[in-house]
A and B are shown apart, each in its own frame.
Chain A
Amino acid sequence: MSATMTDAPPTAPTATDPSAPRLASPRRDLSWTAAPLVGLLGLAGFWVFPDDLGLMTRIAAAALYVLSLDLVLGYCGIATLGQAAMFGTGAYAAGIAAVHLVNDPLILLAIGGVAGGAIALATGALILHARGLTLLMLTIAVTQIVQEVANKARDWTGGSDGLSGIDPAPVFGLFRFDMVGRTSYLFALAVLVVGMLVARRIVRSPFGLACRGVKEDPVRVAALGGSPRAYLVTMYAVAGMFAGVAGALTAVSSGIVGLDSVSFSWSAEALVMLVLGGTGRLYGAVIGTVAFMAAHHILAATDPFHWMAFIGLFLMGVVLFLPGGIAAGLERLRDRLTGTRNGSAPGGRA
Chain B
Amino acid sequence: MTTTLRKALLGAVFATALGAGAADAATIKVGVIAPFSGPFAMFGQTFKEGIAVYQAVHGKTVGADTVEFVFKDLDQANPAQSKALAQELIVKEKVSFLAGFAFTPDAMAVAPLIDEANIPAVIFNAATSAITEKSPRFVRSSFTLWQNTVPLANHVAKLGVKKAITAVSDYGPGIDGEAAFKATFEKAGGAVVDTIRMPLKSTDFAPFMQRIKDSGAEAVYAFLPAGPTTLAFAKAFADNGLKEKGIQFFGPGDITQEPDLPALGDAVLGMTTSFHYSQAHESAANKSFLAKYKELFGSSDNATFTSVGAYDGVHLIYTMLAKTGGKSDGLKAVEAVKGLSWESPRGPVTIDPDSRHIRQTIYLRTVERVNGKLQNTEKDAFPAQPDFGYKLGK
Is any CB of A less than 8 Å from a CB of B in the complex? yes
- Which A residues are closer than 8 A to B by beta carbons? 51-55, 57-58, 148, 151, 154-155, 158-162, 164, 167, 179-181, 250, 254-261, 265, 300-301, 304-308
The docked-state distance in angstroms from the alpha carbon of A56 to that of B87 is 11
Of residues 223 through 241 on chain B, the ones whose CB sits less than 8 Å from some CB of chain A are none
* A57 cross-chain contacts in B, Cβ below 8 A: 84
- CB-based contact A164/B172 at 8 Å: no
A308 to B38, CA, bound (A): 8
Whether the pair A254, B79 counts as a contact (CB closer than 8 A) is: yes
Cβ of B260 < 8 Å from any Cβ of A? no
Name the residue of chain B whose CB is nearest to the CB of A152: B170
What is the distance, in angstroms, from B393's C-beta to the closest C-beta of chain A?
A: 11
26 contacting pairs across A/B (C-beta < 8 A): A53-B87, A54-B83, A54-B85, A148-B199, A151-B170, A155-B394, A160-B104, A160-B171, A160-B172, A162-B77, A162-B108, A164-B108, A179-B90, A179-B91, A179-B116, A180-B91, A181-B91, A250-B80, A255-B112, A256-B108, A260-B76, A260-B77, A261-B80, A265-B76, A300-B73, A305-B5
Instruction: Considering the complex, give the chain A residue whose CB is closest to the CB of B87.
Output: A54
Assess whether A304 is in contact with B73, with CB atoms less than 8 Å apart. yes
Cβ A256 vs Cβ B88 within 8 A: no
Bound form: Cα–Cα A162–B112 in Å: 14
**Contact pick for B84, options A154, A161, A254, A258, CB 8 Å:** A254
Contact at A58–B105, with CB atoms within 8 Å? no
- Asked whether B341 is an interface residue with its Cβ less than 8 Å from the other chain, the reply is no
Q: CB distance A51 to B88 under 8 Å?
A: yes
Return chain B residues, CB-CB under 8 Å to A159. Answer: 171-172, 175
8 closest pairs, A vs B, by CB?
A162-B105, A54-B87, A160-B171, A51-B92, A304-B73, A54-B84, A254-B80, A258-B79
Q: Is B292 among interface residues, defined by CB-CB distance under 8 A? A: no
What distance in Å separates the Cβ of B52 from its nearest Cβ neighbour in chain A?
14
Query: Contacts A255-B112, A307-B37; is A54 near B79 (CB within 8 Å)?
Result: no
Residues of A within 8 A of B84 (CB): 54-55, 57-58, 254
Using CB atoms, name the residue of chain A closest to B126: A161
Q: Is the CB of A304 within 8 A of B36?
A: yes
Whether B36 contacts A160 by the Cβ 8 Å rule is no
On chain B, the residues within 8 Å of A179 by CB distance are 87, 90-91, 113, 116-117
CB closest residue in chain A, given B201? A144
Main secondary structure of the interface of A (DSSP, over half): helix
- For B87, list chain A residues within 8 Å (CB): 53-54, 179-181
Contacts of A162 in B (CB 8 A): 77, 79, 104-105, 108-109
Q: Which B residues are CB-close (under 8 A) to A154? A: 175, 394
Total interface residues on B, CB under 8 Å, equals 44
Instruction: Kindly list 12 other residue pairs between chains A and B, CB separation below 8 angstroms, not including A256-B108, A257-B80.
Output: A53-B91, A55-B84, A58-B80, A151-B170, A160-B104, A160-B200, A161-B128, A164-B79, A164-B105, A180-B91, A304-B36, A305-B41
Q: Within the assembled complex, what's the spacing in Å between the Cα atoms of A52 and B92?
A: 7
A259 to chain B: which residues have CB within 8 Å? 77, 105
- The answer to whether the Cβ of B294 comes within 8 Å of any Cβ in the partner chain is no
A256/B80 in contact, CB under 8 A:
yes
Residues A301 and B72 in contact, CB atoms below 8 Å apart: yes
**Which of B81, B85, B130 is A161 in contact with, Cβ under 8 Å?**
B130
Q: Closest CB-CB distance, B144 to chain A, in whole Å? A: 13
- CB closest residue in chain A, given B108: A164
| B134 at interface, CB cutoff 8 A | yes
Distance (Å) between the CB of B341 and the closest chain A CB?
30
Query: A257–B73 contact, CB under 8 A?
Result: no
Give the one of A148, A301, A305 with max B CB within 10 A: A305
Q: For the complex, give the distance between the alpha carbons of A179 and B76 in Å.
A: 24
Return the contact of A54 from the options B73, B91, B112 (Cβ within 8 A).
B91
In the complex, which residues of chain A have a beta carbon less than 8 angstroms from the beta carbon of B108? 161-162, 164, 256
Chain B residues in 8 Å Cβ range of A55: 84, 88
B347 at the interface (CB under 8 A from A): no
Chain A residues within an 8 Å CB radius of B128: 161
| Beta-carbon contact of A256 and B5 below 8 Å | no
Select A304's contact among B72, B76, B112, beta carbons within 8 Å: B72
For A58, list chain B residues within 8 Å (CB): 80-81, 84
Q: Does B78 contact A (CB under 8 A)?
A: yes
Chain A nearest CB from B59 CB (Å) reads 24
In whole angstroms, what is the CA distance A162 to B91 when docked? 24
**With a CB–CB cut-off of 8 A, which chain B residues contact A161?**
104-105, 108, 128, 130, 172
Q: How far is the CB of B300 from chain A (nearest CB, A)?
A: 20
**Chain B residues, CB < 8 A from A261:** 80
Cβ of B205 within 8 Å of any chain A Cβ, yes or no, is no
CA distance A308 to B36 in the complex (A): 11
Nearest B residue (CB) for A178: B116
**Interfacial chain B residues near A300, Cβ < 8 Å:** 37, 72-73
Tell me if B111 counts as interface (CB < 8 A to partner A). yes
Do the beta carbons of B171 and A151 come within 8 Å of each other?
A: yes
Q: Which of A155, A254, A258 has the most CB of B within 10 A?
A: A258
B91 contacts which chain A residues (CB < 8 A)? Answer: 51, 53-54, 179-181
Query: Considering residues B73, B76, B86, which has the most beta carbons from chain A within 10 angstroms of its beta carbon?
Result: B73
Check A304 against B37 for contact (C-beta < 8 Å). yes
Q: Hey, which chain B residues are within 8 Å of A260, CB to CB?
A: 76-81
A298 to chain B, nearest CB (A): 12
In the complex formed, the residue of B with least CB distance to A155 is B394
Task: Give, as a whole number of angstroms, the nearest-CB distance from A177 to chain B.
Answer: 10
Residue numbers in A under 8 Å from B37 (CB-CB): 300, 304-308
Chain B residue with Cβ nearest A59: B84
A26 to B84, CA, bound (A): 45
Residue of A nearest to B86 (CB): A54
- Per the bound structure, the CA–CA distance linking A180 and B71 in Å amounts to 20
Q: Which of A52, A254, A255, A305 touches B88 (beta carbons < 8 Å)?
A: A52
B36 engages A258 (CB within 8 Å): no
Interface string of B267-301 (1 = CB under 8 A from A): 00000000000000000000000000000000000
**Chain B positions 111 through 132: 1 when the CB is less than 8 Å from some CB of chain A, otherwise 0:** 1110011000000000010100
Q: Which residues of A contact B112 (CB under 8 A)?
A: 167, 255
Known A164-B134, A179-B117, A305-B36: A256·B71 in contact at CB below 8 Å: no
Please indicate which of the listed interface residues B81, B105, B128 has the most CB atoms of chain A within 10 Å of its own CB. B105
Which residues on A sit within 8 Å (CB–CB) of B199?
148
Are the C-beta atoms of A164 and B83 separated by less than 8 Å? Answer: no
Contacts of A51 in B (CB 8 A): 88, 91-92
Task: Tell me the complex Cα distance, A58–B88, Å.
Answer: 12
